[in-house]
Amino acid sequence: MTNSSLARRAFLKGFGAVSAGIIFPVAAHGVTLAKPQGRPATRGTEILSWIVIHEDNAVTVVVPQTEIGQGVTTTLRQMVGEELDLDWATMRTAFYDPNVNKTRGNPYVWTATLGSSSAHSLFKPSRIAAAQIRAMLIAAAAARLRVAADELTCANNVVRHEKSGRQLSYAALAPAAAKLTPPAADAVTLKAPDAWTRIGKPLPQVDTPLMTRGALRYGIDLELPGMRFAAIRQSPVFGGKLVGIDAAKLKGLPGAPRVVTVKGGFVGYNSPVPEGEDPAIWTAEVHMDDAVAVVADSWWQAKTALEALAITWDEGPHAKFSSGALARKLSQKVQGELPTVLAVGDIDAAFREAAKTHSAEYTYPYLDPAPLEPLNCTVLVKRDAVQVWAGTQFADDAHELTCKLVNLPPEKVHLHLVPCGGGFGRRLQNDFVHQAVQIGRAMPGVPVKLLWTREECIQRSAYAPLSVMKLAAALDARGMISGWRSKLATAKSAEQSYGSARFQFEFPAILAQYHRDEEAPLQFGWMRGVGQTQYLWMNYAFFDELAGLAGRDRVAFIRAHLDPERIPAALEKRDAAVARAQTLRRVLDAAVAKAAWGAKAPRSGRGIVVSDTSYYAGYESASKVGIVDVTLREDGTVSVDKVAITIDCGVVINPDIVRRQLEGCVSYALTNAFLSEITVENGRVQQSNFHDYPILKMAQVPKIEVNLLPSEDLPTGVGEDAVPITIAALVNAIADAGGPRIRSLPIRAPTLRQASA
Amino acid sequence: MRVKMTLNGKPRSIDIDPSTPLLWVIRDSFGLKGTKFGCGAAQCGACTVHVDNAAVRSCSFPVDGAHGKSVTSIEGLDPANAHPLQQAWIAHNVPQCGYCQPGFIMAAAALLKTTPDPTDAQIDASLSNICRCGTYPRIRAAIHAAARASETEATR
């Protein structure tokens, strides 16, 4: 095993560790949290950093994640409410402050909103904390009522003594309960699944009624007394430097505009690194270029004034950078030897002894995750206290970089998370926070809201990396894959070789090689599905090519390669690999049984993909099957008739939220497949807004069917999983229908037909 | 220029550069934040409001175009969430992040005024808004449900 694959395993061990139970420290009491949206808050008692029991017996649950549309404010209420026996109508949520995480020793265990991990990472810690708090309330009630704890029960925010008919509200017990030493995390008993009344139910998303009347306040909606507004222009060329500004034209413009320069450089990191882990595996550095901001009385005035400004840039070393040239360079790279990340068996022998061989080259463009709410951040810098309001997916990092910029200790800096208009990975990079704090620092005492234009968002994003993968395979005489070789070369990126090298088939011989071009100047960023989206679709499309080459039925070909008998006896963690293959076969059988497999109409096609996003066998991941049906039309378009996703994602906390996530993945996948692409010429992104960086619209959305399979395993991610399998099943369906074999995104032909056309 | 309009039934007036987009007047001058900024180029529809009953993309609609007219933003549709579209949106659990939803609801409300029971093709043609979360199938179902509910209400 190579060093890289060992490092990958360390990554997984780290992630597994964060979802284990821990001891939660006792927190200070009497904290009044930021007012939750929509309902008034009274003072209350905070217990174990996770909840506040208010004087009116309402309960606020602290959400140690960012809400980006994944529904965590709803699912966390279900998990905590379950163990604490809370009345749903009394529950509220408030986002955590990283300041608390920092100063109290990380009570929330895992806070970055990435990797579809909200349910997975919160499932144990939040329920354990709730069970600890429940035990503390019961202990306080036992002391107050002078009865044994085991005679007490909890229901609807009340501890009740059945024998005597006496009861005490959580509010009455909270001050005493908070002073008790919590039971050890491993000493509390969690409710058995058959006793759940909240987990597993399709409870409505809690913020929906605010959204439908325009009352949910996102970061962009924040308003403070005396607030001023900032518009920003970053170097139009990646790596450019600010030379000079001619501000003469600002004179006399309305809104009292003033210029603030923002210095480029190192920002922070785009993922946390657990203690003792290798940062190179977990995260990537975030950098930004110089920028010029104009601050005025309204944002429109600021933006108008910024456009009037004459700015001179030194275009720097990347002024001639071309993404087309980089694609050609990467394509050259994959023809030769690259660093090996995974080597299994004798790959040369597999090809030497092959009955048939095949190779193909796949490419994936630069992409911008493009959440719909443009990036924004509000800052109020005072001499001894700083407040930041940001829709960031990595609030701990935003807090830390702010502390450094204003040179204050963590307890003096408060980061208020706000609901986000989408995330999709873009908000893991805190460049926009760094800029806002620099601007706020130049205007002490004045609240400032920085808001990017859509053009800045598209042209200065953190991009999924342009990538080229050359795949080659050997087929043996029985039509089985005996050797699999992948050579992947990408633009600047975090370590994402898992997307190409780590998938579920245990071929007898595997050689995976991986190279990252560090010269490519675009900022790397995580994007929905990350390495899996970029590379798994290539694997599954090439796998489908091989089924065709072997002349075999697709489903049979997949099933044969998931035969546990084929898994080498000597494989490390063979049991986990066998279990993985069996699970995938079970999901495959369920999906196939659900889909009608009749005679095929002319020019229609079906693609099928079976996948998980495990980094290795035994790593918890949702198992799913995607089936896409298409029809090729005479006019050169393709109708996507139906996308069906069948998934086993462990315990489902809220089935309707899981369905929505998967429906969303399908739209995201079709956008990636047919519509969007970031290209760069002369160091500049050529796209600027949704007219040339299009997103799927209503008319293009196919029929989507989601089948959830029952499971009692730990919840696994659903927010990203269906993206790569939809893309792969789609290109396989187009080939099946007699269309071209698609190996490069976005698909140029056939174009996507309007659903109702 | 002094621009006068009726916003959600109330008379409003403001002295402002007439080329300022209506969006920013509604949001920042009048403080109604439900109308969203997504692209600034009439591409995404997050800023959709009604001007004299027609859906307009307020990010690209100069405020002087609303002079003397009646403007309705999401806050004015039905603050009690009782509009059939709002009810259907809640019943179908439509939103994910929710950011685009006010624009979609306002676009759909304008459609239902002229086309009380729209076909899928009519929905497709009139709702070119962008939802990055991909809530489209539920939006479609909610519009059909709201149309049915309105019809039931009308025949009662």
- A564-601 pLDDT per residue, tens: 999 988 888 899 999 999 999 999 999 999 998 877 88
Between vectors from CA A523 to CA A519 and to CA A526, what angle results, nearest 5°?
A: 125
- A593-643 pLDDT per residue, tens: 999 887 788 999 999 999 998 888 888 889 999 999 999 999 999 999 999
Joined tokens for residue A701: 């959305």
From chain A, the residues in CB contact with B84 under 8 A are: none
From chain A, the residues in CB contact with B101 under 8 A are: 211-212
pLDDT at A25 over 70: no
Q: CB contact, 8 Å: A374 with chain B?
A: yes
CB spacing of A660 vs B125 below 8 angstroms: no
> CATH number for the B2-77 domain, one of 3.30.70.1050, 3.10.20.30, 3.60.10.10, 3.40.50.9100?
3.10.20.30
Domain ranges for chain A? 3-207, 219-319+375-451, 324-367+463-752
Picking from A202, A668, A690, the nearest residue to B43 by CB comes out as A690
CB spacing of B40 vs A689 below 8 angstroms: yes
Residue whose structure tokens are 């990055």: B132
Taking only residues 620 to 659 of chain A, the set having a beta carbon closer than 8 angstroms to any beta carbon of chain B reads 656
Position A632: which residue type? L
Residue A679 phi/psi, 5-degree rounding, is: -120, 155
**A9 vs A645: which has the higher pLDDT:** A645
DSSP string, B63-129: GGGGTTSEEE-HHHH-TTS-SHHHHHHHHTT--SS-TTHHHHHHHHHHHHHH-SS--HHHHHHH---
A512: nearest Cα among A531, A491, A533, A528 = A531
A742: nearest Cα among A672, A693, A685, A686 = A672
Mutation for B interface: A218, A527, A698, most B CBs within 10 A: A698
Which range is least confidently modeled, A145-149, A276-280, A627-631?
A276-280
Residue whose structure tokens are 């792969």: A728
DSSP type of residue A675:
I
The verdict on domain A3-207 having CATH code 3.40.50.280 is no
pTM metric for this prediction: 0.95
From chain A, the residues in CB contact with B130 under 8 A are: 372, 690, 695, 697
Count of pairs with CB atoms under 8 A, one residue in A, one in B: 187
A646: nearest Cα among A631, A630, A658 = A658
CB spacing of B135 vs A454 below 8 angstroms: no
A722: nearest Cα among A625, A597, A617, A593 = A625
Mutation for A interface: B63, B86, B133, B135, most A CBs within 10 A: B133
Whole-number pLDDT of residue A250: 94
Whole-number pLDDT of residue A76: 97
pLDDT bracket for residue A9 (50, 70, 90): very low
Whole-number pLDDT of residue A597: 81
Picking from B33, B40, B131, the nearest residue to A217 by CB comes out as B33
Strands A356-364 and A467-475: antiparallel
Mutation for B interface: A73, A220, A372, A424, most B CBs within 10 A: A372
Whole-number pLDDT of residue A110: 82
Q: Are A124 and A21 in contact (CB under 8 A)?
A: yes
Joined tokens for residue B29: 């001058």
- A466-488 pLDDT per residue, tens: 999 999 999 999 999 999 999 99
Quote the CA–CA distance of B105 and B84 in Å, as a whole number: 10
Q: CB contact, 8 Å: A189 with chain B?
A: no
Picking from A216, A666, A756, the nearest residue to B98 by CB comes out as A216
DSSP string, A299-358: HHHHHHHHHH-EEEEE-GGGTT--HHHHHHHHHHHTTS---EEEEES-HHHHHHT-SEEE
pLDDT at A24 over 60: no
Q: CB contact, 8 Å: A597 with chain B?
A: no
- A304-320 pLDDT per residue, tens: 999 999 999 999 999 99
Position A368: which residue type? D
From chain B, the residues in CB contact with A216 under 8 A are: 98
Whole-number pLDDT of residue A5: 33
Q: Are A621 and A711 in contact (CB under 8 A)?
A: no
Strand-by-strand arrangement of the A166-169 sheet: A152-155, A158-161, A166-169
Quote the CA–CA distance of A668 and A720 in Å, as a whole number: 9
Joined tokens for residue A666: 């399908």
Mutation for B interface: A116, A300, A692, A695, most B CBs within 10 A: A300
pLDDT bracket for residue A35 (50, 70, 90): low
pLDDT at A29 over 50: no
Whole-number pLDDT of residue A115: 87
From chain B, the residues in CB contact with A666 under 8 A are: 134
From chain A, the residues in CB contact with B95 under 8 A are: 69, 205, 207-208, 211-212
Nearest CA in chain B to A665: B134
The CA distance from A281 to the nearest CA of chain B, in Å, is: 29
In A122-274, beta strands by DSSP E: 152-155, 158-161, 166-169, 228-234, 241-246, 258-262, 265-269
pLDDT at A175 over 90: yes
Kindly report, as residue ranges, where domains of CATH 1.10.150.120 are found in chain B. 84-155
Percentage of chain B modeled with pLDDT above 90? 96
Residue whose structure tokens are 């993922």: A271
pLDDT at A15 over 70: no
pLDDT at A16 over 60: no
Whole-number pLDDT of residue A30: 38
Nearest CA in chain B to A214: B34
The CA distance from B28 to the nearest CA of chain A, in Å, is: 7
Whole-number pLDDT of residue A109: 77
Joined tokens for residue A503: 């998938």
From chain A, the residues in CB contact with B146 under 8 A are: none
Q: Averaged over A705-711, what is the pLDDT?
A: 96
Taking only residues 220 to 249 of chain A, the set having a beta carbon closer than 8 angstroms to any beta carbon of chain B reads 220-221, 223, 229
Q: Averaged over B12-22, what is the pLDDT?
A: 97
pLDDT bracket for residue B156 (50, 70, 90): low
Helices (H) and strands (E) in chain B, counts: 6, 5
A674: nearest Cα among A649, A701, A652, A648 = A701
The CA distance from B14 to the nearest CA of chain A, in Å, is: 14
Q: Averaged over A543-550, what is the pLDDT?
A: 98
CB spacing of A214 vs B96 below 8 angstroms: no
What does the mean pLDDT of chain B come to? 96
What is each CA distance from A464 to A6, A200, A435, A522, in whole angstroms?
A: 25, 34, 22, 9
Whole-number pLDDT of residue A23: 37
In A431-560, beta strands by DSSP E: 448-451, 467-475, 481-490, 509-516
A423: nearest Cα among A436, A413, A432, A435 = A432
A3-207 matches A324-367+463-752 in fold: yes
CB spacing of A454 vs B38 below 8 angstroms: yes
The CA distance from A113 to the nearest CA of chain B, in Å, is: 14
pLDDT at A757 over 80: no
Residue B14 phi/psi, 5-degree rounding, is: -155, 145
- A214-269 pLDDT per residue, tens: 999 999 999 999 999 999 999 999 999 999 999 999 999 999 999 999 999 999 99
Topology of the domain covering A219-319+375-451? Aldehyde Oxidoreductase; domain 4 (3.30.365)
pLDDT at A184 over 80: yes
CB spacing of A665 vs B134 below 8 angstroms: yes
pLDDT bracket for residue A36 (50, 70, 90): low
Q: What is the CATH code for A324-367+463-752?
A: 3.30.365.10
Taking phi first (over 0 means left), then psi (-120 to 50 degrees means alpha), and beta for anything else, what does residue A137 get? alpha
Quote the CA–CA distance of A290 and A27 in Å, as a whole number: 41
Picking from A211, A370, A423, the nearest residue to B98 by CB comes out as A211
Nearest CA in chain B to A217: B33
Q: CB contact, 8 Å: A453 with chain B?
A: yes
Q: Averaged over A396-416, what is the pLDDT?
A: 97
Q: CB contact, 8 Å: A665 with chain B?
A: yes
Q: CB contact, 8 Å: A699 with chain B?
A: yes
What is each CA distance from A616 to A374, A576, A577, A619, A621, in whole angstroms?
A: 36, 9, 8, 6, 10
- A327-372 pLDDT per residue, tens: 999 999 999 999 999 999 999 999 999 999 999 999 999 999 999 9
Q: CB contact, 8 Å: A701 with chain B?
A: yes
Quote the CA–CA distance of A336 and A582 in Å, as a whole number: 37
A744: nearest Cα among A328, A361, A326, A471 = A361
Percentage of chain A modeled with pLDDT above 90? 86
Provide the ipTM.
0.98
CB spacing of A300 vs B73 below 8 angstroms: no
Residue A605 phi/psi, 5-degree rounding, is: -150, 160
Whole-number pLDDT of residue A104: 87
The CA distance from A455 to the nearest CA of chain B, in Å, is: 8
Whole-number pLDDT of residue A40: 58
- B85-134 pLDDT per residue, tens: 999 999 999 999 999 999 999 999 999 999 999 999 999 999 999 999 99
pLDDT at A291 over 60: yes
Topology of the domain covering B84-155? DNA polymerase; domain 1 (1.10.150)
Whole-number pLDDT of residue A649: 96
CA dihedral A486, A490, A492, A495 (to 10 degrees): -20
Residue A629: Cβ within 10 Å count: 25
Whole-number pLDDT of residue A1: 30
CB spacing of A660 vs B93 below 8 angstroms: yes
Kindly report, as residue ranges, where domains of CATH 3.10.20.30 are found in chain B. 2-77
Whole-number pLDDT of residue A10: 34
